[in-house]
Amino acid sequence: MSMGAHRQKKIAVPLPEDLLQGGDASNFDIFISELVTKGGKSVTPPRGGVTVIVGGNNAGKSTFLRDVWTTLSRPTHSVYKPLLVEKINLVREGGQSDFFCWCAEHAVWSGVKSNLGFVTHESHVRVTTGEIKKVCTQGKTPTDISRIASLLVQRGDLHNRLGVVAAVDQRDKLDDPPEHPLHRLQDDPALLKTVQSLCERVFRQKLTLERIGRRTQLRVGETRVPPPTVDAITPEYVKSLDELDPLDTQGDGMKSLLGLLLPLVSASCRIMLIDEPEAFLHPPQAKIAGTVLGELAADRGIQIFAATHDRNFLVGLLESQAPVAVVRLDRSEDGTVVHQLDHQLVRELWNEPVLRYSSVLDGLFHRAVVLAESDGDCRFYAASLDAFSGLEFSPGDIQFTPVGGKDGFARVLKALRSVSVPTVIVADLDVLNDERRTRFFVEMLGGDWNDVGDDYRRAVQQFRVPRTSKSRSQVLELVRGVLEQDMEKRYDKETEGIIQAAIRAEKSPWQDLKDYGVRAVRGGLATSALERLLIKLETLGAVLVREGELERLAPDVQSRKGPEWIVEALQHQSYLGDLAQQHISVLVRAIRQQW
């Protein structure tokens, strides 16, 4: 139905005062307190915050949003059956008169005398006072709001967002209620200023609201001529205004985001469902968009559900300081599994530098994450996986994340496991030199140390010997060897450091494990224990290099360490070698077992 046809049905029948008596719009609210999935999982979205729906491709993010909408907007006896959502529990605050006062501020009272009701710009569905009263009789936890959902819930899909910024007809009378967010900007200079400020913040573009003529629209930029008073419009001003491009001629990214912001700024809904809010935005804009949406949700008390593929958008949300919950969807042969990270834990994890300043968040959008010690390790393993034949999944489904050395595994593993991201560790064999760390891996990956501990101790017993102490004559020889290299050079801190390093230097018993791999273990019982240990770890999701260290998988590479090694290994295509592919086959098996 066109806006013009909508206005023709509106008649000058005032909203009955008795409906508003004693009411206060600020006392009214309605929000989702709990969402129960088909699998019985309970999701508790934050009020006045954002619930982010993430997951790999085709995990069901859009389906989840559609289910929320249909569950709220269709009667309980509807033949449509949501695929992921079983039940939604709601909470209503404020009395009936508060509800009517809120409707009077955020919807249009219109219709013929026998069919008066509230209408929103988005749906044009008329909601009668009787339908609102019926919901209020359900108490503070209404079970069916399908007849009034158009007043309270908005779908921010791309089509609706682009439609919001299109030009609209002016109202017939000055005192007619606003029928569109653009009309609200006409009536409220503070709202207009907020939208203009947000546009500058995200797109570095100014906005001008065109108030003259038959149509109301936003234009990009500012007029060269200062706007005159309404009774003194000049040809110069009209020409200057006409030189500005209408907003609806701009790129889809700008239109899409401003189409989201207009309803949020005016708080014309209590629940908003947004699919891909970052659509058409560049990464920096997506990040700012996330921050802005989070701030508006918290400031206006609106409950937002947003399905996203974009790490930048998620980072922006987290930087907004708004309550942010993460719902991660996993699709398996048995259907879609839902995992939630509530907003308190999200905030706690976000305060961890390893999560904030790394690629860990990217794991939320992949089917699995592989943790390795360094960026070079990740590059080699990623190349090996790309070359592996017989994959049942796309290599792009796997995120390789460096953790900055062996001590970094624990923090990153804990963060990813908190959001139920399937995670596999791949490390050199000497990672076993720390029993506490090994036990942490086992338990964090869901294993029982009692099933592993005996094999671990038998396997590494020969390496757990103290280093021998040096005699004074040995120390003297070490010092002499350093100083005799350049007798004329001044003794400085650099020389002192070299001497101290030389005194400390001694081959660790664990070095044999790194140099020779499983072959370094002596004795049948110890060898058998190590093999059982490695198999158990692989089943849990910790794959250790049986050759000892990653570099042993590329025997044709001359460089042994550092950035030179990875460059040479990739140039020689060492990832195609038998050792590399045998190792990656174990890694692939471990990844599959996490699903």
Task: Specify whether the CB–CB gap between 549 and 386 falls below 8 A.
Answer: no
Both 536 and 589 in a single domain? Answer: yes
Q: Whole domain around residue 110: which residue ranges? A: 1-28+94-145
The rounded distance, in Å, linking the Cα atoms of 585 and 574 is 15
| Residue 579: predicted pLDDT | 95
371-382 pLDDT tens trace: 999 999 999 999
Task: Specify whether the CB–CB gap between 294 and 50 falls below 8 A.
Answer: yes
The rounded distance, in Å, linking the Cα atoms of 448 and 454 is 12
412-469 pLDDT tens trace: 888 788 777 899 999 999 999 999 999 998 998 999 999 999 999 999 998 887 656 6
Q: Which of 200, 226, 251 is the last residue of a domain?
A: 251
Both 414 and 485 in a single domain? Answer: no
Both 521 and 493 in a single domain? Answer: no
Question: Which segment, 229-233, 430-434, 527-531, is predicted with the most confidence on average?
Answer: 527-531
The rounded distance, in Å, linking the Cα atoms of 514 and 430 is 6
pTM for the structure as a whole: 0.76
Both 108 and 180 in a single domain? Answer: no
Both 463 and 481 in a single domain? Answer: no
Cα-flanking dihedrals φ and ψ of residue 30, to 5°? -145, 135
Q: Which of 212, 232, 251 is the last residue of a domain?
A: 251
Percentage, residues of the chain above pLDDT 70: 93
367-412 pLDDT tens trace: 899 999 999 999 999 999 999 988 888 898 899 999 888 888 887 8
Is 455 part of any domain? yes
**Is residue 280 pLDDT above 60, yes or no?**
yes
Both 141 and 226 in a single domain? Answer: no
Both 519 and 571 in a single domain? Answer: yes
Contacts of 234 (CB under 8 A, 6+ apart): 225, 228
Both 428 and 487 in a single domain? Answer: no
Is 340 part of any domain? no
Q: Which of 217, 232, 251 is the last residue of a domain?
A: 251
**Is residue 12 pLDDT above 60, yes or no?**
no
| Residue 585: predicted pLDDT | 96
Q: Which amino acid would we find at residue 71?
A: T
Domain total in the chain: 4
The rounded distance, in Å, linking the Cα atoms of 242 and 223 is 9
Is 553 part of any domain? yes
Task: Specify whether the CB–CB gap between 401 and 358 falls below 8 A.
Answer: yes
